Chain A
Amino acid sequence: MAAIEKYDLIVVGAGPAGSAAALVAARAGLRVIMFERGEYPGSKNMFGGVLFGHDINELIPNFWESAPVERALIEERYFLVSGSSATTIALRTKDFAEPPYNGFSVLRARFDKWFAEQAVAAGALLVCETLVESLIMDHGKCVGVKTGRADGSVYADCVIVAEGVNSLLTRDAGIHQEWKKNEVGVGVKELIKMPKDVLENRFNLKGQEGISMRILGLTKGMTGGVFLYTNKETVSLGFVAMIEDLAARGFKPNELMEEIKSNPMVAPFIEGGSTVEYTAHMVPEQGYKSVPPLVHDGLLIAGDAAMISNLLTGEGANLAVTTGRLAGEAVVAAKAAADFSAQGLRSYQDALDASYVMKDLKQFKGFAGYLHGNPDLMELYPQLANDFLKGLLTADGTPRGAKAKALLAEVKKTKSLFGIAKDLWRGWRVIK
């Protein structure tokens, strides 16, 4: 068998970041090879997610016409749950049901496959079922990858690592330490199937419309939250929690999941449904503070492997698309200048810094720490909000003015108004 030709670019991981990078580079005429360890792109992913469309639309205009999207999300609903009460705040807008839409629920096993096919159609070579075991370094420069297959080394001018949150390649290359327990969370999700008309009636949806919910107060005081969103004929329900908290409290993720499913606020949403998938996955939690150096000689890092995610807004996959696109563009520029050194690839870092991705990440860099440092946010505040509103709305013959005073006094017993003001102020500070 002939030796493997040298490529311009090797992409490790055919997820949103990898496929975006491969697509951009292949479109520019570069010789691109992309490795995926799963049977097909998406097969190793958590089976669903929210994809904000703006980033991918820049690459593939009107992508929703050909991409396997589930539902256009027209409502974002937040729940603060305590006991048998919940305060909700929601935005529902029909504007999000019209092109260019805002976000879609997608089943990643289908969506990632489609996205990788776009890169293949542009000329990239996709090699599945192949694990990249290590980067091949030569005098500090990355010159290729070694896969787990026989005669499995491939060489290229540049490698983009986009292998997801738990990147062993970058750890083994000494680019970052093993992630600490407070840098990664665990996401657990069930895909719950129910008839389309039941789902649409239950959530008041028509046609392609969908809804996304986030619920605070069900993670037993641990930093994290519950999410729910609607697909065509399934509901994705799950939670994200810090691995550190789960470990410290000895909670098993599957047991917590069962408790969430049977919670009276959640159960009606999934009643009568049957679980068709159960998945668990690591999620980057710390945002900006965890981002390792992303540009090296002959090497770029993109997507979750770069620990780029936004805990506050719930963005991840769309950020991955943009990091992948920018990484791909940097490689195209480096190819034109025939300089694949860190200097030659620097435009990746510059473009990232100039993009909303890094600007948001910097802006919210204190957010994860803030959440983690304030367990009250997860349990006490939902309770205070519910007690206060419930008390105020209960018609029991007490004058409302006297009632408000009494309720406020109750609140003060649990937490001083100064303490609340301080928490709110600090919360404002970390995101402003």
Chain B
Amino acid sequence: MRLVVCLKQVPDASEVKIDPIKGTMVRAGVPSIANPYDMHALEEALRLKDKYGARVSILTMGPPQATDVIKRAVSLGADDGVLLSDRAFAGSDTLATSYILAQAIRKMGEEEAIDVVFCGKMAIDGDTAQVGPGIGSRLDCAVTTYVVGVRSLDKDKKTVVVERRLERGVEVVEADMPVLLTVNKEANDIRYAALPALIESIKYEVPVWTAEDVQLDLAQCGLKGSPTQVKKIFPPPQKDIETVMVTDTISDPAQIAKLLVDKIEEAGMLA
């Protein structure tokens, strides 16, 4: 069984600042991390590997230093990985990105057929949640989003049963493999690497594929292949919030609640 996990390197969101004049993200000096959603997708794949046996391969697109996230995945138990890195990919929007990744997954599949492609629900830098389903539709396979767990997998019947978290509850879905799953954060807790695997991952030399290595129509890549472009990024406007300090000496919870409700009513916040 072969599992592929799409793993994106993103700027650490807790450290990103927006240049208020240029309207762009200030990336200089901001550390990079693996997209947290993708790490939960990886963990889900590794759990299937532990349970059923599988080869877990990582696919990343990004600058040369994005090999870091592949090494991290290998330290946790992934078997191998590929970095897609080419200037021709720069400026790709979600449409171009899902095209490039889908083509790369096709190529990975030539070596050993792929049963499940895992993606995170979304990346924390773009928040679009479009690339996962975009890959799935190009690969012409089943797509199941918001996955919070794989219940079971039948290697012979080539089916998988997953739980999807929806607003109204949890939906249990059976899908034929090959399938693409996008995974939510609450799916699992990410493991801690054992030392032997960590050492192997540091030594692991990540193969790098350029546009030439993958069958690509360059018109569909990079800026040329991207119908959408980021015009401006800005932090949400700060709302003026008035803070009212309620001071009283009462200790009875019911009375405190009543006092708060009165104050809220006074402030005209109750419709």
A residues sitting closer than 8 Å to B (CB atoms) are: 1-4, 33, 125-127, 130, 147, 149-154
Contact = CB atoms under 8 A, between A and B. Distances in A.
Would you call the interface of chain B mostly helix, strand, loop, or mixed?
A: helix
B93 to A, nearest CB: 31
Choose among B195, B200, B202, B203 the residue with the greatest number of A CB atoms under 10 Å from its CB.
B195
A4 B201 CA distance: 12
Contacts of A130: 195, 198
B203 A149 contact: no
A151 B196 contact: yes
A278 to B, nearest CB: 16
Interface in B177-219: 192-200, 202-203
A4 B197 CA distance: 9
Contacts of B197: 1
Interface residues of B, number: 11
Contacts of B200: 1-2
A146 to B, nearest CB: 10
Contacts of A125: 199, 202-203
Given A1-B196, A127-B202, 15 more contacts: A1-B197, A2-B196, A4-B195, A125-B202, A127-B195, A127-B199, A130-B198, A149-B192, A149-B193, A149-B195, A149-B198, A150-B194, A151-B195, A151-B196, A152-B195
B198 A126 contact: no
A2 B197 CA distance: 9
Contacts of B195: 4, 127, 130, 147, 149-154
Interface string B87-110: 000000000000000000000000
A147 B198 CA distance: 12
A149 B199 CA distance: 11
8 contacts: A1-B194, A4-B196, A4-B199, A125-B202, A125-B203, A127-B202, A151-B195, A152-B194
A297 B211 CA distance: 55
A130 B193 CA distance: 10
A299 to B, nearest CB: 20
10 closest cross-chain pairs (CB), A and B: A150-B194, A149-B195, A152-B195, A1-B196, A151-B194, A4-B196, A151-B196, A151-B195, A1-B197, A149-B194
B196 A127 contact: no
Contacts of B196: 1-4, 151
A235 to B, nearest CB: 19
A149 B202 CA distance: 15
Contacts of B202: 125-127
A202 B79 CA distance: 56
Contacts of B193: 149
Nearest to A1: B196
Contacts of A1: 194, 196-197, 200
A216 to B, nearest CB: 36
A151 B192 CA distance: 12
A127 B193 CA distance: 12
A4 B202 CA distance: 13
Contacts of B198: 127, 130, 149
Interface in B143-166: none
Residue of B193, B198, B200 with highest tally of chain A CB at under 10 A: B198
Nearest to B200: A1
Q: Which of B192, B196, B197, B203 is most buried by chain A, counting CB atoms within 10 A of its CB?
A: B196
Nearest to A33: B199
A229 B16 CA distance: 28
A3 B194 CA distance: 11
A84 B197 CA distance: 61
Contacts of A152: 194-195
A141 B161 CA distance: 54
Contacts of B194: 1, 149-152
Nearest to A40: B31
Contacts of A4: 195-196, 199
Interface string B19-35: 00000000000000000
Contacts of A127: 195, 198-199, 202
A150 B199 contact: no
Contacts of B199: 4, 33, 125, 127
Contacts of A154: 195
Contacts of B203: 125
Contacts of A153: 195
Nearest to A147: B195
Nearest to A35: B195
Contacts of A151: 194-196
A149 B197 CA distance: 10
Interface in B36-67: none
Nearest to B196: A1
A154 B203 CA distance: 16
